[in-house]
Amino acid sequence: MHRSIAGVLGAAVVLIASAFPSPAWAAAPSKRVDGNHFAASGVTIANQGCEDPAIEPNPGPKLVLAKGPGRAPAGSRTVGWDVALSGYGVGPQARVQNPADVTVFRIRVFPEQTNAAGVAVVTYVEPGDAGIWRGTGGVETIRGASWHVVGAGTKSFSWRHYTANGALDQTAGDSSLKYFVDNHGSGDSAYLGFAFGCDGNDFAVDALEVGTLKSSTTYDFEGFATSTKFENDKKTPKKITIIAGKRLPLTAELRKRFEGTGMAGQLKIQSRKLTEKKWGTVARPKVGTNGNYDFKVRPFVSSALKLSYAGTTAYEASSRLLTILVRPYVSGGFADATVTKGHSFTLRGRILPARHAAITLQRWAGTHWVSIKKGSTGNDGRYSIGAVSTKVGRSYWRITVAPGGGNIAGKSPWQKLKTVAPPKTGGGTPPPPPSDPPPPPADDPPPPPPPTH
């Protein structure tokens, strides 16, 4: 039995971690098998007598998800079983189309003790038959604590037929898979696999490969996949844009990827400025079974957050990045919101975080903004910029700020300016009322109170 047991999933899954050196194996196109969700990947588990496939062991073997042993043939984890009784085998089977054409039929096996004895197994349904044929073929006993390739493409199988009620009602002489299928309806699918543990020894397997020369699939047995996400306003974005000083509520989420449900675990939240490379740790929350941790950040410059889950023997690691782009806080207002035509007006304000920055005064032209004048702020972020008003009526103005200092480009809320005609010095007909442009679109939500630094 395994000497290191980390825990149990349900009643029949044992988790272990072990380390033995072994080579990697080249394989056909891979299909990932998530933990014990075998059926979702087209895999079934054969759990049967090594001589009589109709009987099952009691107590049954325990499924083991392991990191390794050694370097896994596919991915980073493998699947195996703690075997309670000798004379019984257990292992994965995968569906293959055109079983008469099968030429690829192999698996990688690691004996947890000195030996691993098993059988190749086939489940086949003859067209028009309510029962099933089950074939078993012995494979050589594997010796030595390393990964071994076991193949059964040319094996001869003993065949037994069972009714829909599970009763044995006929047998067939030993024959290859191709010969048997060709003489029993040439069905278009079968399940092929291996069952080890016949000697009562524990084992691990990986990279079950079945198919034809034209098309084969390698089944990569892995742990339970997880996902980590940042949630904001019921969305899980990868990028958010805010104004400096705004408190941003976030939820760090840890999920079982297959089910999409929350799970307990240790998370790590890190942050860094986009202009830097070094990460700093914000928090190391331990979440409960709902998988959620609520927190807030208040970045003043564009930053990145990283949420990571280190994983366990059974659950795989995952991580997620969130980019927070920060606009500067820009305030502004007219020194006098009413001006006489031909006179100048002044727009004053400040940007925070304070810095020397290029700014542009813009006027709304009815459908778009037009740049009128360029200027800059002082080192304290304050600015004063103006122009001459040339048209009677209402007009709309704003300041844009060039990116820099860790912030992306920013803008002030637009301001309304009223321009009046100069006083009349004589008689005459008054001019027609001005034709004012429609106001600009609504700005972003009102900015937060200015930062305190």
Mean pLDDT score of the chain: 90
Question: What pLDDT, on the 0 to 100 scale, is given for residue 450?
Answer: 55
Whole-number Å distance between alpha carbons of 90 and 78: 15
> Per-residue confidence at 270, pLDDT binned at 50, 70, 90?
very high
Overall pTM > 0.95: no
Cβ-Cβ contacts under 8 Å for 101 (sequence gap 6 or more): 178, 212
Range of the domain at 55: 7-222
Q: Is the dihedral of CA 166, 167, 170, 175 positive or negative?
A: positive
User: Does 371 lie in the same domain as 344?
Assistant: yes
180, containing H or E segment? helix 177-182
Token digits of residue 419: 């321009």
Give the end of a domain, one of 222, 252, 272: 222
- Report pLDDT digits (tens) over 273-321: 999 999 999 999 999 999 999 999 999 999 999 999 999 999 999 999 9
pLDDT tens-place string over residues 149-168: 999 988 899 999 999 999 99
Identify any residues that bridge with 120 across adjacent strands, giving them in sequence order.
137, 194
Q: Which of 19, 21, 48, 45 is nearest to 33 (CA)?
A: 45
Q: Are residues 212 and 250 in the same domain?
A: no
Q: Which residue has the tokens 């094996």?
A: 155
Residue 448 covered by a domain:
no
When pLDDT is averaged across residues 15-19 and rounded to a whole number, the result is 35
Could you say which of 222, 237, 253 is where a domain stops?
222
Predicted pLDDT of residue 434: 59
Of 327, 347, 365, the last residue of a domain is: 327
**The Cα angle at residue 440 between residues 436 and 442, in degrees rounded to 5:** 140
For residues 178-197, one letter each, b for 16 or more C-beta atoms within 10 angstroms of the residue's C-beta and e for the rest, the string is eebbeebeebeebbbbbbbb
Segment holding 178, helix H or strand E: helix 177-182
Q: Is 372 a domain residue?
A: yes
Would the pLDDT of 148 be above 80?
yes
Examine residue 450 and state whether it is found in any structural domain, yes or no. Answer: no
359 and 323 inside one domain: no
Same domain, 207 and 275: no
Same-domain check for residues 125 and 204: yes
The number of domains in the chain is: 3
Checking if the pLDDT of 105 tops 60, the result is yes
d(CA 160, CA 216): 27
**Residue-wise over 88-123: b if at least 16 C-beta within 10 A, else e?**
bbbbbbbbbebbbebebbbbbbbbbeebbbbbbbbb
In DSSP notation, 224-236 reads B-EEEEEEBTTB-
